Structure 1
Amino acid sequence: MSTWIDISQPLTKDVAIWPGDTPFKCETSFDKTMTGSVNVGSLMMSLHTGTHIDAPYHFDDAGKRVSDLDIAVYGGKAKVIGLPEGTDVICPEILAKEELDGVERLLIHTKGWQDRRKFPDWIPPVDIRLAPWLQERGILLLGLDIPSVDPLDSKDLPAHHALAHHGVHILEGVVLDHVVPGEYELFAFPLALAGADGSPVRAVLRKC
């Protein structure tokens, strides 16, 4: 029987959110004493809470929305790698020694978000030069264990734009602390949210 490895952040009342964004709230709106038959819950959250994907519309008014994305990108063979200690930017030079032939989905353990109970003060951002470098190697999806591919105070989001321009999809906020580097199958499908700029995902790995 296959062993599934959950790499999703648990969605609880304590989940860290972007400062000023919609707080996470999941509650029972109507219980059996009220309905006579069922408990019915409700959910309120930002689409960029926890483990999630960014659609290009998130940072580009003309970009594709979640419902326009190719669902196949979010499921298939993937490789998990770790960054050297002290890495302050994710660039081609850092990844140059990695064996990435045939890799279409790359998940990077940056170790840049140690305490997920609070939003980080700083993360190692993606160098815009990484976008064409990934495209040249046929990589379709970049997954990171941090909440953004850009510096947290960025307003123009150069890495988001560069990755989208080069056909690289973005998966943020995965949890890789317990994952051994290597080859896996990844399943991180967005919800079928028509017109949305992002989507939470239940991201899991299975060893190849």
Structure 2
Amino acid sequence: MKYTDLTYTITENMPVYPGTEKPVLEKLEIDGYRETLFHMFSHTGTHMDAPYHVFKDGRKLEDYSIEEFTGRAAVIDIPQGTKTIEPEMLKSAEGFEFVLLRTGWGSKWGRDEYFDGFPVLSLKAAEYLTGLRLKGIGLDCISVDEVGMNELPVHRVILGSGMLIIENLACLEMLPAEVTFTALPLKYADSDGCSVRAFASY
């Protein structure tokens, strides 16, 4: 069995969603032992969105069973230059529990262009995925919606179905077409989202 870590390391100078404060990792040493005090938003780095992120009565991450954070995943290549991901690009997702969209955009991680022009799902594509009864969708981009689109229409379609969204995945280029995908968030109260440790095995 091979394992690939799909998670970006959290650092104080890491890329964050425009307008969001960067994390602060306060290093403490008290009586000979060390701890770190974290100051960061719940959607920092490689992270998971829960329905509660956009719906006041939506399901929260702590409401999900551990089994819902793992499952068989189809890794789908999105052609370079794609601006809008349409349903016909996603047919190989049928029969899986997760779909991972490999757009190649992760190669821009750490640069300003990471936040602009990345492929996004059309509403029809989002609706198509919800019809497959997936556990979730992951991708190597900052968001399933364009940056600055405050209405978050694609988020609302996907999260409204109860599916999870995992954004800012790393190293998708290393994966075969089918993997077992796992993304584990912290279990905290009223969780709208959380940074995760995501990995694939195959």
If the length of structure 2 is used for normalisation, what is the TM-score? 0.91
Aligned-pair identity (%): 31
**Aligned Cα root-mean-square deviation (Å):** 1.7
Alignment correspondent of 2:200:
205
Q: Which has the larger share of helix?
A: 2
Paired position in structure 2 for 1:109: 102
Aligned counterparts of 1:164 and 1:128: Cα–Cα separation in 2: 13
Match of residue 191 from structure 1? 186
CA contact (8 A) 1:15 1:116 kept: no
Distance 1:40 1:70 in 2: 29
Instruction: Tell me the secondary structure at the aligned position of residue 165 of structure 2.
Output: strand
Name the structure with the higher strand share. Answer: 2
How many residue pairs were aligned? 200
Larger Rg: 1
SS at match of 2:80: coil
Moved over 3 A (4+): none
2:86 corresponds to: 91
| Contact 1:52/1:200, CA 8 A, preserved across alignment | yes
Q: Match of 2:4, as an amino acid?
A: I
Q: Which residue of 2 aligns with 1:44?
A: 39
Verify the 8 A CA contact 1:80 1:184 in the aligned structure 2: yes
Alignment of 1:1-208 (within 5 A): 2-29=1-28, 31=29, 34-35=30-31, 37-96=32-91, 98=92, 100-118=93-111, 119-207=114-202
Unaligned runs of 5+ in 2: none
Asked if 2 retains the 8 angstrom alpha-carbon contact of 1:123 and 1:152, the reply is: no
- TM-score when normalising by structure 1: 0.88
